[in-house]
């Protein structure tokens, strides 16, 4: 085959060894060129990847190569082997969709935020079903306290409340990755924003007894206006092994405090000169946030060495700043 037949498309679905590549509104079923199998798993195409491929409208198209990625979102695999699972490529925003009822979990939002930050995407917490909640402000403040990198919006898709605030994310060329439990209101939100039924909602599923549509595959959907949405099937828990970069970014203020304790091996318990305890007492650091940091850290086997490294770096920087009168 001749090189000039190559086209650029975007991976919209990944099955075991087959892919759907979307190009100019057409879907092509594709397999990988043999050379991929000699490479690392990281080089396999992911949902959201741009690829070059040789189209075959009547049969299997062949993916030739993956274009350079802007970023990758990854999570530790569920068996906690420490191996990373690559999820999605080229997402600009991670919408962490949580409804303001029993689904709400501060801890889960922090974990998803961590995945986004580590991957280089912007975490946007969307607190849905605000119509069912009478203390929305408290939740907003709580989620804002997770990280200064997280953006927070409370919305009601059903009543159209708060949707205007989200327009800024729907610029042409943007890719939004949706994360959150099934039933959180992800599809309803996207439909409300676009004003069209671009995604199936669970209500539709319930009334449609003939064919239940459940999201079993990660899928990239073109919702129009140059915006793509990646829907992930209900991913309940994400572990924290190997997530150190994400944690460090989310909790950089706590790491900074830890580096200011009098003793470098301070456990923030009864030791004198503990900066963490002092910050909790003065209200500068919320106890809940510190507990979350500790809980997430405890699951993380590689945590300790990395923390030490950062704290060392942070101390050196402080010394340098003091010496040079930099504040």
Ligand X SMILES: Nc1nc2c(ncn2[C@@H]2O[C@H](COP(=O)(O)OP(=O)(O)O)[C@@H](O)[C@H]2O)c(=O)[nH]1
Q: Which residues bind Mg ion (CB under 5 A)?
A: 186-187
Q: Which is nearer to ligand X, 123 or 185 (CB)?
A: 185
Residue 188 contacts which entry, Mg ion, ligand X, none (Cβ below 5-8 A, type-dependent): ligand X
Cβ distance to ligand X smaller for residue 153 or 186? 186
Torsion of CA 140, 143, 146, 150, to 10 degrees: -80
Integer Cα distance of 276 and 287 in angstroms = 10
Q: Between 156 and 175, name the residue whose CB sits nearer to ligand X.
A: 156
Least distance from C-beta 185 to Mg ion, angstroms?
8
Residue 187 Cβ vs Mg ion, minimum distance, rounded to whole Å: 3
Task: Say which entry of Mg ion, ligand X, none residue 184 contacts (CB below 5 to 8 A, set by partner kind).
Answer: ligand X
291, 296, 298, 304: CA torsion to nearest 10: -100
Residues 191 and 197: beta-carbon distance below 8 Å: yes
Minimum distance of Mg ion from residue 259's CB (angstroms): 43
Distance CA 15, CA 198 (A): 22
Alpha carbon distance 58, 277 (integer Å): 67
Minimal distance in Å, beta carbon 180 to Mg ion?
A: 9
Q: Which is nearer to ligand X, 213 or 315 (CB)?
A: 213
Q: Using CB atoms, what's the residue nearest to Mg ion? A: 187
Q: Smaller CB distance to ligand X: residue 151 or 186?
A: 186
**Closer Cβ to Mg ion, 187 or 228, answer by number:** 187
Q: How far is the CB of 126 from ligand X (least distance, A)?
A: 10
The residue written with tokens 């924290």 in the block is 240
As measured in angstroms, the least distance from the Cβ of 12 to Mg ion is 16
Residue 12 interacting partner from ligand X, Mg ion, none (CB closer than 5 to 8 Å by kind)? none
Q: How far is CA 273 from CA 5, 253, 264, 307, in A?
A: 68, 17, 11, 19
- Report the C-alpha gap between 42 and 57 in whole angstroms: 28
CA-to-CA separations, 217 to 18, 19, 214, 220, in angstroms, rounded? 12, 11, 9, 10
**Which residues of the shown chain bind ligand X in the complex (CB under 6 A)?**
128-129, 131-132, 156-158, 180, 182-188, 201-203
d(CA 312, CA 21): 47
Selection from ligand X, Mg ion, none that 271 binds (CB < 5 to 8 A by kind) is none
Closest of 74, 114, 69, 113 to residue 95, by C-alpha: 113
């Amino acid at each position: 085959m001749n090189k000039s037949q190559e086209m650029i498309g975007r991976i919209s679905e990944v099955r075991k060894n087959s892919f759907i590549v979307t190009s100019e509104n057409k879907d092509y079923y594709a397999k990988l060129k043999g050379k991929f199998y000699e490479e690392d798993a990281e080089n396999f195409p992911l949902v959201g990847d741009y690829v070059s491929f040789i189209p075959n409208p009547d049969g299997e198209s062949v993916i030739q190569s993956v274009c350079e990625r802007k970023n990758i979102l990854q999570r530790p695999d569920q068996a906690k082997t420490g191996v990373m699972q690559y999820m999605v490529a080229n997402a600009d925003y991670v919408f962490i969709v949580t409804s303001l009822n029993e689904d709400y979990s501060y801890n889960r939002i922090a974990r998803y935020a961590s995945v986004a930050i580590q991957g280089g995407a912007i975490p946007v917490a969307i607190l849905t079903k605000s119509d069912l909640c009478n203390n929305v402000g408290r939740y907003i403040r709580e989620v804002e306290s997770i990280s200064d990198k997280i953006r927070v919006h409370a919305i009601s898709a059903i009543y159209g409340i708060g949707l205007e605030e989200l327009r800024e994310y729907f610029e042409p060329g943007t890719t939004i990755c949706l994360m959150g439990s099934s039933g959180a209101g992800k599809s309803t939100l996207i439909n409300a924003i676009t004003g069209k039924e671009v995604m199936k909602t669970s209500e539709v599923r319930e009334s449609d007894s003939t064919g239940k549509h459940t999201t079993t595959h990660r899928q990239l959907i073109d919702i129009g206006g140059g915006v793509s949405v990646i829907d992930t099937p209900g991913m309940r828990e994400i572990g924290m092994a190997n997530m150190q970069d994400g944690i460090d970014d989310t909790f950089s203020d706590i790491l900074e405090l830890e580096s200011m304790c009098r003793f470098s091996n301070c456990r923030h318990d009864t030791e004198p000169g503990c900066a963490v305890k002092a910050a909790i007492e003065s209200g500068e650091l919320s106890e809940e946030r510190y507990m979350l940091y500790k809980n997430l850290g405890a699951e993380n086997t590689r945590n300790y060495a990395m923390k030490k490294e950062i704290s060392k770096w942070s101390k050196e920087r402080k010394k340098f700043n003091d010496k040079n009168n930099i504040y």
